[in-house]
Chains A and B, each alone.
Chain A
Amino acid sequence: MKSDYLELTDVRVTFDGFVAVDGVTMTVLQGDLRFLIGPNGAGKTTLVDAITGLVPATGSATFGRTELLNRKVHRIARLGVGRTFQTASVFEELTVLQNLDIAAGSGRGPLTMLRKRSSTPPEVEAALEVIGLTDLRDRQAGVLAHGQKQWLEIGMLLVQDSKVLLLDEPVAGMSAEERQQTGELLQRVGENCTVVVVEHDMDFMRSFATSVTVLHAGRVLSEGTVAQVQADPKVQEVYLGRAEVEA
């Protein structure tokens, strides 16, 4: 059994007495494409925030036996945990290549930093290929289409050498074709990583999820394959609704 998996044990996040995440325990294995779904306010994004150090949390979140909670954001990132945001947040004034190069460079020494980039690092080249932006490498990230920005974000996670990818609504606002491409991209990426996708789009989930965790009011309501979760009466009650069940 590989130790490269993400394990959450009794993770709790409280804001001024309001319990946003109420003791979540879950395990995501390498190669898994885990979808995290739940109604608004279920604590999905807050859980991702807790793992990445943005909000303080209690309990335990380990990756490869290393505790992640209560470390600084940039330290967690260096441990191989990367994330994206609901709204694409690439560096708009920099080119695609510069965005990826920065993402690849947190381990660089001062001398490398103070020099100009002489050639494209191989991992950046590979990521450009994977996310399909090779031809747009010298384009400013700000002028990219919405979908391309999200792919660039995923590319940045790849060159960052993240082993855990936490994606917050990566396909929101995308066209059907872009969703399909994104899903295929995630499947390719997921072979060597642990991927957790926070998503509202049920069709997208059904097409690409290998496993699903349903959150409700800060707790894990149900967990399993897409079929198992859909068949769970508790899930049907709080989240999927009657119309969704037949799909």
Chain B
Amino acid sequence: MKGEYAKIAGFAAIALALLVLAPAVLSDFRLSLLGRFVCYAIVAVGIGLAWGRGGMLTLGQGVFFGLGAYVMAMHLKLSDAGPTGVPDFMKLYGSGVVPGWWEPFRNPVVTVLAIVLVPSLVAFGLGMAVFRRRVRGAYFAILSQALAAAFAILLIGQQATIGGTNGLNGFRSFFGFNLFDPVNKRMLFYIAAGTLLAMLLVVWQLYRSRYGELLVAVRDQEERVRFLGYDPANVKIVAYVVAAAMAGVAGALFVPIVGIISPAAVGVVPSIAFLIGVAIGGRSTLFGPALGAIAVAWAQTSLSESFPSFWIYFQGALFVLVVAFLPRGLSTVGSILTRRRESA
């Protein structure tokens, strides 16, 4: 019960920091940066669920992030172009005709549904294929990484239909709101922050539920769970699909906040970058992945500003320190100290 109160306090503190403190003290530019980090944090919450609690080392979340992002970007391009218009880049590089598979995304409702459903369905299909065949551990990690690489290459090849290496950019409005208006930029930050808080509530409920206990059991002793009458593949698929949906939503919010989505933001490198914050923050804790993701991204930006080529070393050192001394992440410092005090 004590743990429950600590979590409520932690949640309230994060909500206060994001919704009250940050908008009050940060400039519009910094707030928009924080909005981008919040998107990473939403991906991180999902990775915490799949990797921290479910033991699935998801090295390819960029795929789901990208699916959500491109769905949103397609909608924004279409709505900028008008009811029957053609997005600008298609006139430049393509035939000047909108491909049939773009058309459904003119509809905002279809877009919002697709942002959640497309990554979920892809993850479900993959999960059925992979977990039922008992692919796991390093094999699963490599497979998901390869998928991210393949996805980025696929996007790069589609210059005429989804912008190739340039990706999709130059959005002017977001569901009717002008994206150049600072007030609307702030609104986007609030939407992202609110989504992150909602995602935290989702995983919180999952962690305290019976499903959460079962997921940990599957992570630690997958075969044993089988002998208790469960199919562990189903248990893992649920966590994987939820994580994918979260990555998709994060991608969709990333697009209007940052103003561009390109293959460089969804491939292997960003997929690994998603993981670093989770590992450093504490992958199996409730708040660790989100806070770690924001902190690492923030440190990267501010350090790169002062020491342009220094960040990569700092990131490496941080990673080594955490893996060597705090394998469960920085959020576990508190509980380690308590344990030490009790045993002393």
Taking Cβ atoms with an 8 Å cutoff, the residues of A that contact B are: 52, 72-74, 77-78, 82-83, 85, 89-94, 98-99, 101-103, 105-108, 112-117, 156, 160
| Chain B binding surface SS class | helix
Which one, B209, B226, B230, contacts A116 given CB within 8 A? Answer: B209
Q: A102 CA to B211 CA in the complex, in Å?
A: 9
Residues of B within 8 A of A107 (CB): 229
Contact with A along B217-259 (1 / 0, CB 8 A): 1001101111111110000000000000000000000000000
A91 touches B220 (CB 8 A): yes
Q: Does B128 contact A (CB under 8 A)?
A: no
- In chain B between 198 and 219, which residues have their CB closer than 8 angstroms to a CB of chain A? 205-206, 208-211, 213-214, 216-217
Taking CB as reference atom, which chain A residue is nearest B229? A106
Taking CB as reference atom, which chain B residue is nearest A52? B227
A101 touches B213 (CB 8 A): yes
Taking CB as reference atom, which chain A residue is nearest B217? A91
Minimum Cβ distance to chain B for residue A77 (Å) = 4
Q: A93 CA to B217 CA in the complex, in Å?
A: 8
* Known contacts A72-B231, A77-B226, A83-B227; is-contact A113 B220 (Cβ 8 Å): no
Q: Known contacts A74-B228, A105-B210, A114-B206; can you find 13 more A-B pairs with CB under 8 A?
A: A74-B226, A74-B229, A74-B230, A74-B231, A90-B224, A93-B220, A98-B213, A102-B213, A102-B217, A103-B228, A106-B228, A106-B230, A114-B210
Minimum Cβ distance to chain B for residue A162 (Å) = 9
Q: A82 CA to B228 CA in the complex, in Å?
A: 7
Q: A82 CA to B224 CA in the complex, in Å?
A: 11
Which one, B205, B223, B228, contacts A102 given CB within 8 A? Answer: B228
B224 touches A89 (CB 8 A): yes
Which one, B208, B211, B221, B228, contacts A77 given CB within 8 A? Answer: B228
Q: A175 CA to B229 CA in the complex, in Å?
A: 31
Residues of A within 8 A of B227 (CB): 52, 73-74, 77, 82-83
* Known contacts A77-B226, A91-B224; is-contact A113 B210 (Cβ 8 Å): yes
A112 touches B217 (CB 8 A): no
Taking Cβ atoms with an 8 Å cutoff, the residues of B that contact A are: 205-206, 208-211, 213-214, 216-217, 220-221, 223-231
Which one, B210, B217, B228, B230, contacts A117 given CB within 8 A? Answer: B210
A102 touches B221 (CB 8 A): no
Residues of A within 8 A of B208 (CB): 116
Taking CB as reference atom, which chain B residue is nearest A73? B226
Q: A91 CA to B219 CA in the complex, in Å?
A: 10
Q: A78 CA to B229 CA in the complex, in Å?
A: 5
Residues of B within 8 A of A105 (CB): 210, 214
Q: A99 CA to B221 CA in the complex, in Å?
A: 12
Taking CB as reference atom, which chain A residue is nearest B231? A74
Q: What are 5 sample pairs from A and B whose C-beta atoms fall under 8 A apart?
A: A74-B228, A94-B217, A102-B214, A112-B210, A116-B209
A160 touches B213 (CB 8 A): no
Q: A114 CA to B231 CA in the complex, in Å?
A: 17
Q: A89 CA to B222 CA in the complex, in Å?
A: 11
A101 touches B228 (CB 8 A): no
Q: A52 CA to B214 CA in the complex, in Å?
A: 21
Q: A91 CA to B55 CA in the complex, in Å?
A: 14
A156 touches B228 (CB 8 A): yes
Taking CB as reference atom, which chain A residue is nearest B213? A98
Q: A73 CA to B233 CA in the complex, in Å?
A: 12
* Known contacts A91-B221, A93-B220, A94-B216; is-contact A114 B228 (Cβ 8 Å): no
Which one, A90, A113, A116, A160, contacts B229 given CB within 8 A? Answer: A160
Residues of A within 8 A of B214 (CB): 102, 105, 113
Q: A173 CA to B296 CA in the complex, in Å?
A: 48
Residues of B within 8 A of A102 (CB): 210, 213-214, 217, 225, 228
Minimum Cβ distance to chain B for residue A63 (Å) = 14
Residues of B within 8 A of A91 (CB): 216-217, 220-221, 224
Residues of B within 8 A of A93 (CB): 216, 220
Lowest 4 CB-CB distances: which A-B pairs, in order? A106-B229, A77-B229, A73-B226, A113-B211
Residues of B within 8 A of A98 (CB): 213
Residues of B within 8 A of A114 (CB): 205-206, 209-211
Residues of A within 8 A of B209 (CB): 113-116
Q: A245 CA to B290 CA in the complex, in Å?
A: 67
Q: A124 CA to B223 CA in the complex, in Å?
A: 22
Specify which of A82, A85, A91, A107 lies most central, judged by the most chain B CB atoms within 10 Å of its CB: A91
Minimum Cβ distance to chain B for residue A134 (Å) = 19
Minimum Cβ distance to chain B for residue A158 (Å) = 12
Q: A156 CA to B228 CA in the complex, in Å?
A: 8
B216 touches A116 (CB 8 A): no
Minimum Cβ distance to chain A for residue B260 (Å) = 37
Residues of A within 8 A of B216 (CB): 91, 93-94
Taking CB as reference atom, which chain B residue is nearest A91? B217
Q: A98 CA to B216 CA in the complex, in Å?
A: 11
